[in-house]
Amino acid sequence: MATIHERKFVSGDPAKCVGCCVCEYICSMEHEKTFNPTKSRIRAVRLNPFVNIAIACRLCEDAPCVAACPRDALEQSEETGLIIVDEEKCNGCGWCIEACDYGAIQLHPETKVVFVCDMCDGEPKCVEWCPEEALDFTTKDVLAQKARIAIVKKLFQEALKATL
Amino acid sequence: MSYAGRILHVDLSTGKTETEPLKEEMAKKFIGGIGLGMRLFLDNSKAGTDPFSPSNPIIFVTGPLSGTMAASAGNSYAVVSKSPQTGGIAESKSHGFFGAELKRAGYDAVIIRGKSEKLVYLWIDDDSIQLIDAQHLKGKPPHEIETAIREELGDFYIRVSAIGEAGENLVRIASIINDEFRAIGRTGMGAVMGSKNLKAVAVRGTHDVNVADLEGFVEFVKMIHERMKGPATRKYRTLGTPENVLVLNAIKALPTRNFTEASFEGAEKVSGEYLNERYIKKIVGCATCGMRCDHIGMVPEGPYKGTTARVEFECLWALGPNCGVDRLDAVIEAIYQCDYYGMDGISTGVIVGFAMDCYEQGILTKKDTDGLDLRFGNAEAMVEMVKKIGSRKGWLGDVLAEGSMRAAEKIGKGAAKYANHIKGLELPGYDLRTLQTAALGFAVSFRGACHLRSGAYSPDVKGKVNRFKIEKGRGKIVMKGEDTYNIIDSLILCKFSRGVYYEELEDMVKYYTLATGIEMTPEELSQAGERINNLAKVLNIREGKGTREYDQVPPKIKNVPVPDEGFAKGAHVTQKEFDVGLDDYYEVRGWTKDGIPTVEKLKELGLQDLVPIVKKKLAKTQTPKRKGNGGK
């Protein structure tokens, strides 16, 4: 059983994201064999040219979407942390959508049940395709490490130069 | 297949809408984008219609790749109509996000006719079409329209293509802006929208866009993505098009102070290098593109502190060196104002440069400028003049809003000698005196002065020809460039990506067939490019703007030799050499000496039905000289 520390999810870096939506197109291609961002499990948001990011499921611990479902249609895999939708049980009521702080679970335009990132069986296509390498398939621990390394590099630029 | 297969008709006068199927033969012959748009324009308009008449249709058209994940082409659309600047055929393309949305809504083209009684916007919500009152949006800039429409319709992902105050004011150089800073920039399409009381087109598309061979298509796109990381797009990913400033300056091809000098002493301070170091805050991309090129600049200090705009070479040049302005803060502010009012930044800058030239020559005085000291180099005056044009404020603002050709006529006193336009469309930032293949290419461009109708500056800049003269052989170079660019603009590929199609036509035809399933050979595609150019020419002829006297360069290019010391000194275009070039071009095109496509040529290209339009013209072997812009 993977703990939240070991669960890899798709993380977007707003410093690198340029808002091109390539992730949306490749996601709908991979899962639905068509080009249609409204069927993408990851969605890009551009608030203005400087603020761009793409958002997908973050595999929360004790996922609020699962807790919110009145029909037990959602389940979180103990193995991977993925949210699994039972399409027979889901009636599209949207409690899970309200419960998700990130807008990562959505109502499918055709099936009318909810759908969410499945990490492409461990090899997310969006991460592979992102032209800016703004998407990472990673764990929260690794993200924290990266942030620490980045800030230390920034703070100790001079010292770093001296050691080279 | 990736065509939507549907054309939407909207009549703003009656509010009636209907759809018709797109025939496959039509799609194959005219591809999409400007090709399909111009064919639909021909079929849906009458000769001699005033551009501002309700019966002048304005056509929003997507390309066969729009809505797919085709890198740089999945996001595009074009607008076609009759130009209020040239009186001939008008087309302009834009990328961003809007084009993909329009395709997903299920339309290859939207043909808009008539005139609404009150200001409205067109709301295309998949199959549901509505005209919505827009009086509360009057006078607002395009980017605010987008936010307002998203809020009132309640969907953040709605895409909007809108006009600003300039379009409402029928400023003839008005543009249409989508996605905040992408523009249907040239040929005055915003004014045509304004004449119809159409403030915006808002779209939500939720349909699938499918391609014929999904696996092959995705593989091809992957390859294009990889190529986009390579040298073919380096310029656009790094310094961006403003890299041109120092390149053109070094070869004395950077028009300065309204095409007086050919290099600018302040070039360093408006260079791509200077811009990127001090002003560019982020480079962002359009939908589906793996390359990203939109250089977003922000002014860090001074009177224009905080102003943000997307900066490209052309607008930077027009409002900078062409006005003698070496302050990037003012240039960024002026570009922002162009987007705010919704105006073509190239034409705006060239018109302000023209007015500055007239002011320096004493043709315009402080009385005419409402006290504005319109000297070359006066950055604040340049910015103020831009605003006056957008709002038609003051006598001069109102006159210049008519474009440089009409403004010169209104100003009189020989002002026409200083007006830099071809067919009524202002010149872009290449000095035609020192880039003479470009002089020929720009002159014959069917939409008026344009560097992107043939890329004819390229052989000059790259040193492939003697750029200080025009000789036999240039006609073929121009024609080849035009036909390729017609294909690019009909597939609506982004021209910044043109270098990634290593095999040119073969790559393009592969892209087309993978997406549409329509088989085509590179030769057939090439012929489509030629067909589209002939179609455009015939449309200009139909409007009485297509003959030899309209394919000319402005007076300054012929009459004011380059004064800069050094190798370029004295360079200018001579009428004699120009005529050799024009004859050569017409000959390779299979047109008469007067620039009219022959019956045989039209038949060869499958344009038999256009023969009656040219027949009358062909009957007169010698057409009487009419008033052109650069005949003398």
Confidence of residue A162 (pLDDT cuts 50, 70, 90): confident
CATH of the domain at A79: 3.30.70.20
Which helix (DSSP H) or strand (DSSP E) does residue B436 occupy?
Answer: helix B436-444
Answer yes or no: do B289 and A35 touch at CB < 8 A: no
Q: Which among B67, B69, B71 has CB closest to A29?
A: B69
Confidence at residue B619, expressed as pLDDT on a 0 to 100 scale: 83
Helix (H) or strand (E) holding A51: strand A51-55
What residues have CB less than 8 Å from B154, skipping those under 6 apart?
Answer: none
Subunit contact B310:A52, Cβ cutoff 8 A: no
Q: A52 to chain B nearest CA, in Å?
A: 9
Task: Tell me the backbone φ, ψ of residue B496, rounded to 5 degrees.
Answer: -65, -20
CATH number, position A130: 3.30.70
> How many Å lie between the alpha carbon of A53 and the closest alpha carbon of chain B?
11
Residue B461 pLDDT grade (very low, low, confident, very high; cuts 50, 70, 90): very high
Task: Return the higher-pLDDT residue of B627 and B132.
Answer: B132
Which residue from B minimizes the CA distance to A49? B284
Q: Which residues of chain A are within 8 Å of residue B71 when distances are taken between CB atoms?
A: 22
- CATH classification number, B6-204, choose in 3.60.15.10, 3.20.20.140, 3.30.360.10, 3.60.9.10: 3.60.9.10
The residue segments making up the domain with residue A128 are: 1-56+119-164
Q: Strand ranges (DSSP E) for B482-622? A: none
Domain B436-582 indexed as CATH 1.10.599.10: yes
Tokens of B126: 């998949």
pTM of the model: 0.96
pLDDT tens profile B174-217? 999 999 999 999 999 999 999 999 999 999 999 999 999 999 99
What topology is assigned to B233-426 in CATH?
Answer: 1.10.569
Give the model confidence (pLDDT) of B149-172 as tens digits.
999 999 999 999 999 999 999 999
Each residue of A113-154: pLDDT tens digit? 999 999 999 999 999 999 999 999 999 999 999 999 999 999
DSSP-assigned letters across all residues of B322-369: GGT---HHHHHHHHHHHHHHTB-HHHHHHHHHHHHHHHHTTSS-TTTT
Q: Number of structural domains, chain A?
A: 2
ipTM: 0.94
Indicate yes or no: CB of A22 within 8 angstroms of CB of B206: no
- With contacts defined as CB-CB under 8 Å, which chain B residues touch A39? 208
Same fold, B6-204 and B436-582: no
C-alpha closest to that of B182 among B286, B331, B63, B328:
B286
Q: Do A35 and B284 touch (CB under 8 A)?
A: no
pLDDT of B626 over the 80 cut: no
pLDDT of residue B632: 39
Q: Is the pLDDT of residue B631 over 60?
A: no
Q: Closest to A22 (Cβ–Cβ): which among B283, B290, B294?
A: B290
Q: Two tokens at B13?
A: 């006068």
pLDDT at B614 over 70: yes
CA–CA distance, B232 with B218 (Å, rounded to integer): 20
Q: Quick check: B447 and B89 in contact, CB under 8 A?
A: yes
Query: Cβ B294–A35 below 8 Å, yes or no?
Result: no
Same domain, A50 and A67: no
Mind telling me how many Å the CA of A133 is from chain B's nearest CA?
Answer: 11
Query: What's the pLDDT at B630?
Result: 46
CA distance B440 to chain A (A): 37
Type and span of the H or E element at B10:
strand B6-11
What is the per-residue pLDDT for A158?
86
How far is the C-alpha of A81 from the C-alpha of B12, rounded, in Å?
A: 54
Q: pLDDT tens digits for A2-55?
A: 788 889 999 999 999 999 999 999 999 999 999 999 999 999 999 999 999 999
